[in-house]
C-alpha cells in the first residue's frame, strides 16, 4: 500500500517554495494545442495530473519534453482529435480539451466525463456555451462527439459560474471567426491566467478578471514562453499545516494576492502573518480559535478546494465551528476518516458542525485529492502517528507534499 506516514504535534518552523498551480497548468496545456508550434511552460508542476495531460497531448500527436521544470509542448502536427478513453476517464479536467480541439481541429472526441467523489460534475454549461459558438454534439458508447464547420463569434451567458465551462468557451473562441462575448464568467484566478497565456500567444481577450470577457478571434496563435503561477491551494494547504501545529513557517513566492479569503480565515482563528519581499511569514502559536461560520464561495470567496483542509484545522480548535459547502454537492467525504481520528464533526446537508478537540493518529484512507491532503494536515495535528493510505490521490495535485512539509520542519515520509 502506498501511503504517507506522519508524526504528529511537531510545531512547524521552516521554509518552503510553493509549486506551480495545477489548475492553471492544465487548461494552459490544453490551450497549447491552438498553437501550431512550440509552447514552453516554465515552473510547470510535476504532478500526476500534468503527466496524464501530457500523455493525452502526445496521444493527439503533440510532442512534449521536460527541460528542468519547464514543459515544452510542440503542437505543429496534431494527428488525432480523439482523447484516449482510458486516459481521459482518469481525469475529469480533460474536458477542457473540448474547446481547444474544436478550435484547432473542428472536431473532438472525449470520454463522457463521469462524476467523482465530490459530486455529479455535469457538463451542461460547457455544452450549451460551445453550441452557442457553433459546435454540435452527440453522445455514443460513453463518448462525447463534438464537431463544427467553424467556431464562430456569439454571446454566451452563464447562468452559473463554472471554471471549466468558462475555460472551454474561451478556448473555442480565441481562434474562431468574429467576436465572442462571454457573460457570467468564472473569475477564479486560473481563468485569468489562461487568458493571460492566450494573449501572450497572440489572442485578443479583454475583461480579464471580470465576469465579462470579450474575445476577438485571431487566425492563429504563436510560440511563447509562459511562467505558470504558483498554486494558491497548495499555499493555503501549508498555511493550514502551520496553523494546526501551532508553529510558524515561511512560504516562498505564494500568490498572496489570490489568498485573501484563506488568510482572513487564518487571522480569524488567531493566526498572524507578514508578507515581505515574496515571502509569507506565518505565526500560528495562537491559531486555536474556532470560526462560528465559514462558507465556501466562488472567487474571491473562501475556496472550496481548501474546505476539507480547513475542516481538519477546525477539528483541533478550542471551540465550535461551522462550515457550509456551497460549490459542490458532496464535498464532506473526508469526514468519516477525520472522525476515525477523533474529530467531532456532524454533517447535515451542506453544513458541517465541528466541535473542536483533540485528534489521535491512526490509519486512514484518502479517497480524493483535497480530502487526502486534509488527512495529512490532520496527521500533523494529531497525537502520535498517522498513516494515510492511497497516496496517489494526493500526488495528483501536490508535487511532493512530504518534501514540502519536511522543509517546514514536519516529520512526514512516503511509506
Ligand atoms: C475547477 O473544477 C477546479 N478544477 C476544481 O479543483 C475546483 O474545485 C472547481 O473549479 C471550483 O473552483 C480544475 O481547475 C482542473 P466548476 P470545475 O465547473 O471546472 C457545477 C481540485 O481539487 N457545474 O467551476 O469542474 C459543478 O457541478 C479541483 O483542484 C454544472 O452544474 O468546477 C459544481 O457544482 C476539484 N454544470 C459547480 O458548477 C457544468 O456544466 C462548480 O464547478 C459545470 C459545472
- Say if ligand 1 is within 6 A of residue 19 CB: no
The grid coordinates listed for 175 are 481562434
- For residue 151, the tally of other CB atoms under 10 A from its CB is 25
- Say if ligand 1 is within 6 A of residue 368 CB: no
* Band (334; pLDDT cuts 50, 70, 90): very high
- pLDDT for 359-376, tens place per residue? 999 999 999 999 999 999
Cα–Cα distance measured from residue 367 to residue 79, given in angstroms and rounded to the nearest whole number: 36
- Say if ligand 1 is within 6 A of residue 333 CB: no
Which of 23, 112, 393 to probe ligand 1 with, by most ligand atoms within 8 A of CB?
23
Q: Is the pLDDT of residue 121 over 80?
A: no
Between the CA of 274 and the centroid of ligand 1 the distance, in Å, is: 31
404 annotated as belonging to a binding site for a ligand: no
Specify whether the CB–CB gap between 393 and 367 falls below 8 A. yes
Specify whether the CB–CB gap between 251 and 212 falls below 8 A. no
What average pLDDT score do residues 91-96 get? 92
Q: Is the pLDDT of residue 48 over 80?
A: yes
What average pLDDT score do residues 285-305 get? 98
23 annotated as belonging to a binding site for a ligand: yes
- Say if ligand 1 is within 6 A of residue 328 CB: yes
Range list of β-strands (E), 95-147: 107-111, 136-140, 143-147
The grid coordinates listed for 388 are 494515510
Give the pLDDT of residue 112: 86
Would the pTM count as exceeding 0.75?
A: yes
124 annotated as belonging to a binding site for a ligand: yes
What average pLDDT score do residues 316-320 get? 98
Percentage of the chain with pLDDT > 90? Answer: 94
As a whole number, the mean pLDDT across the chain is 96
> Which atom belonging to ligand 1 lies closest to the Cα atom of 93?
15
Amino acid at each position: 500500500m502506498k501511503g504517507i506516514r506522519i508524526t504528529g504535534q511537531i510545531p512547524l518552523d521552516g521554509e518552503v517554495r510553493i509549486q506551480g498551480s495545477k489548475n492553471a497548468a492544465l487548461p494552459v496545456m490544453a490551450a497549447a494545442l491552438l498553437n501550431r508550434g512550440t509552447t514552453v511552460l516554465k515552473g510547470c508542476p510535476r504532478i500526476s495530473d500534468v503527466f496524464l495531460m501530457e500523455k493525452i497531448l502526445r496521444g493527439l500527436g503533440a510532442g512534449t519534453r521536460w527541460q528542468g521544470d519547464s514543459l515544452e509542448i510542440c503542437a505543429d502536427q496534431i494527428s488525432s482529435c480523439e482523447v484516449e478513453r482510458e486516459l481521459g476517464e482518469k481525469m475529469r479536467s480533460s474536458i477542457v480539451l473540448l474547446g481547444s480541439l474544436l478550435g484547432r481541429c473542428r472536431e473532438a472526441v472525449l470520454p463522457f466525463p463521469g462524476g467523482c467523489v465530490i459530486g455529479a460534475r455535469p457538463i451542461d454549461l460547457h455544452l450549451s456555451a460551445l453550441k452557442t459558438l457553433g459546435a454540435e454534439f452527440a453522445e455514443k458508447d460513453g463518448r462525447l462527439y463534438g464537431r463544427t464547420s467553424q467556431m464562430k463569434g456569439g454571446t454566451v451567458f452563464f447562468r452559473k459560474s463554472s471554471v471549466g465551462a468558462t475555460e472551454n468557451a474561451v478556448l473555442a473562441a480565441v481562434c474562431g471567426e468574429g467576436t465572442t462575448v462571454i457573460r457570467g464568467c468564472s473569475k477564479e484566478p486560473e481563468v485569468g491566467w489562461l487568458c493571460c497565456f492566450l494573449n501572450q500567444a497572440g489572442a485578443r481577450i479583454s475583461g480579464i478578471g471580470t465576469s465579462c470577457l470579450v474575445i476577438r478571434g485571431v487566425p492563429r496563435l504563436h510560440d511563447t514562453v509562459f511562467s505558470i503561477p504558483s498554486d494558491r491551494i497548495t499555499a493555503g494547504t501549508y498555511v493550514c499545516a502551520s496553523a494546526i501545529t501551532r508553529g510558524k513557517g515561511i512560504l516562498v513566492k505564494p500568490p498572496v494576492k489570490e489568498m485573501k479569503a484563506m488568510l482572513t480565515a487564518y487571522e480569524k482563528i488567531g493566526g498572524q502573518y507578514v508578507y515581505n519581499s515574496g515571502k509569507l511569514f506565518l505565526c500560528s502559536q495562537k491559531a486555536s480559535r474556532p470560526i462560528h461560520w465559514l462558507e465556501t464561495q466562488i472567487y474571491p470567496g473562501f475556496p472550496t478546494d481548501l474546505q476539507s483542509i480547513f475542516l481538519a484545522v477546525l477539528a483541533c480548535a478550542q471551540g465550535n465551528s461551522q462550515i457550509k459547502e456551497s460549490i459542490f454537492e458532496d464535498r464532506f467525504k473526508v469526514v468519516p476518516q477525520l472522525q476515525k481520528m477523533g474529530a467531532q464533526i456532524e454533517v447535515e446537508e451542506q453544513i458541517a458542525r465541528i466541535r473542536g478537540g483533540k485528534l489521535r493518529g491512526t490509519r486512514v484512507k484518502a479517497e480524493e485529492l483535497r480530502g487526502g491532503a486534509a488527512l495529512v494536515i490532520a496527521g500533523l495535528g494529531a497525537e502520535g502517528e498517522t498513516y494515510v493510505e492511497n497516496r496517489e490521490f494526493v500526488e495528483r495535485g501536490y508535487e511532493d507534499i512530504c518534501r514540502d512539509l519536511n522543509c517546514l520542519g514536519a516529520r512526514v515520509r512516503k511509506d
